[in-house]
Amino acid sequence: MWLFVAFIAIPMIEIALFIQVGGAIGLGWTLAIVLLTAILGTWLVRSQGALVLNRIRQSFSELSNPAEPLAEGAMVLFAGALLLTPGFFTDTLGFLLLIPAVRRAAFTWGRRHVHVQEFTTGPQQRPRPRPETAIPEVIEGEFTEVDPAKRPTHQPSHWTKH
């Protein structure tokens, strides 16, 4: 229901702001501000996105939890979409999401209010981690030696060694 309200309320807010700002400063300046915010927003999204991407890479290389950098990346992406959407309200929300402190606060709020639940289907069990001192697992199997003199009748696909 709240999504429906947002789809109705946001365009109405944008139209009201366009009318108010356009009446106060004129059509030309209003359009110039919208264009300037789109250009500035694109530049800021690129720079903030690069910083967030480096944090994601760092978390993967350090094998730490990448949840916060990934969420920040999603927020920067959403900020870019808001900044490219013409309007003063969406631009304000987009610029707010580009501030790292606002993104951290949004992540903290989301972590408290979003509950992730894990479920499995069927009788599946998680594999238990083996201790470091355990003997490696032995896999038994059968094999057949292929005569190296045999050649295929077709041309090699360069995907296999013939």
Per-residue pLDDT, 36: 92
Per-residue pLDDT, 133: 60
User: Of the ranges 42-46, 102-106, 139-143, which one carries the lowest mean pLDDT score?
Assistant: 139-143
Residue 133 belongs to a domain? no
Question: Rounded to two decimals, what is the model's pTM?
Answer: 0.65
* d(C-alpha 60, C-alpha 29), whole Å: 45
Token pair 């998680």 is at which residue? 126
Give the CB-side neighbour count of residue 52, counting CA atoms within 13 A.
23
* Domain extent for 102: 33-112
Report yes or no: 86 and 17 within 8 Å, Cβ to Cβ. no
Between residues 64 and 146, the one the model is more confident about: 64
Per-residue pLDDT, 115: 78
Residue 146 belongs to a domain? no
Angle, helices 88-97 vs 2-25, to 10°: value is 110
Residue 136 identity (one-letter amino acid): P
Residue 77 belongs to a domain? yes
| 118 φ/ψ angles, rounded to the nearest 5 degrees | -100, 140
CA–CA distance from 62 to each of 55, 56, 69, 108 (Å)? 10, 10, 13, 22
Residue 154 belongs to a domain? no
Is the per-residue pLDDT at 130 higher than 60?
no
Which distant-in-sequence residues (6+ apart) come within 8 Å of 162 by Cβ?
Answer: 151, 152, 156
Give the model confidence (pLDDT) of 61-99 as tens digits. Answer: 888 888 889 999 999 999 999 988 888 999 999 999 999
Give the mean pLDDT of the chain: 83
For the chain, percent of residues with pLDDT exceeding 90:
45
Number of domains in the chain: 1
For the chain, percent of residues with pLDDT exceeding 70:
79
Per-residue pLDDT, 136: 67
Burial environment of residue 97 by CB neighbours within 10 A (0 to 12, 13 to 18, 19 or more): buried
Residue 155 belongs to a domain? no
Taking residues 35-44, what's their average pLDDT? 90
